[in-house]
Chain A
Amino acid sequence: AQRVTQPEKLLSVFKGAPVELKCNYSYSGSPELFWYVQYSRQRLQLLLRHISRESIKGFTADLNKGETSFHLKKPFAQEEDSAMYYCASLRGSSNTGKLIFGQGTTLQVKP
């Protein structure tokens, strides 16, 4: 079965420290991977997707097919980065329209 795993429920770092939110996937075919973020009292919003190779708000994520990972990284965390982060995959071998989400990781950035 297709699955997205975020092993950490909570990640707590100090402001200015590097951040790495882990995401692993299990698929056959070519998945399209995303990171979504949900700030307090706001809707779920797209942070970045692997095909665009963009850096948004200082975050980057590289698809590693060998390790089936799509970890989210930021070199220097800011307090405003505190939020819930979800890794998601759109498709494996066929387009199902179905985003498969990981369980989410709460990032807490302490001052």
Chain B
Amino acid sequence: EAGVTQSPTHLIKTRGQQATLRCSPISGHTSVYWYQQALGLGLQFLLWYDEGEERNRGNFPPRFSGRQFPNYSSELNVNALELEDSALYLCASSLRGDDEQFFGPGTRLTVL
């Protein structure tokens, strides 16, 4: 069974630009989650999508947004990039919203 996949592996942007990160969940999983792992801040919950709807979001500004497509894949968009957005962004999926989460390898975003 293929795991959660994320693309790209690395992304380099400059301040003020927009970044788009993509995630494909495990087949059959309807829930997708996004987390930010910034240096010194640990893993912070960003967003939860289930059945195409945003179910919950963490304590992040509105320039962090996303969506979930009919095939349950998901996209995270970060607008007006700031230097402190540099982090590893992890996507996870689960069978249901209250089930264990399986993680992807992450996208390393660097903002210069």
B50 partner, pick from A46, A90, A97, beta carbons under 8 A: A97
In this assembly, does B72 line the interface, its C-beta being within 8 Å of a C-beta of chain A? no
Which residue of chain A has the shortest Cβ distance to B106 in the bound complex?
A43
- Contact digits for A90-109, partner B, Cβ 8 Å, 1 yes 0 no: 11000111111111100000
Q: Count A-B contacts at CB 8 Å.
A: 49
Task: Tell me, in angstroms, the Cα distance from A103 to B39 when the chains sit together.
Answer: 11
Residues of B within 8 A of A98 (CB): 33, 45, 48, 56, 58
In this assembly, does A70 line the interface, its C-beta being within 8 Å of a C-beta of chain B? no
**How many residues of B are counted as interface, with CB atoms below 8 angstroms from the partner's CB atoms?**
23
Which residue of chain B has the shortest Cβ distance to A88 in the bound complex?
B43
In this assembly, does B16 line the interface, its C-beta being within 8 Å of a C-beta of chain A? no
Chain B contact residues, CB within 8 Å of chain A: 3, 31, 33, 35, 42-43, 45, 48, 50, 55-56, 58, 90, 92, 97-98, 100-106
9 further contact pairs, Cβ within 8 A, besides A91-B98, A99-B101: A36-B103, A45-B102, A45-B103, A46-B100, A49-B100, A90-B98, A97-B48, A97-B97, A99-B45
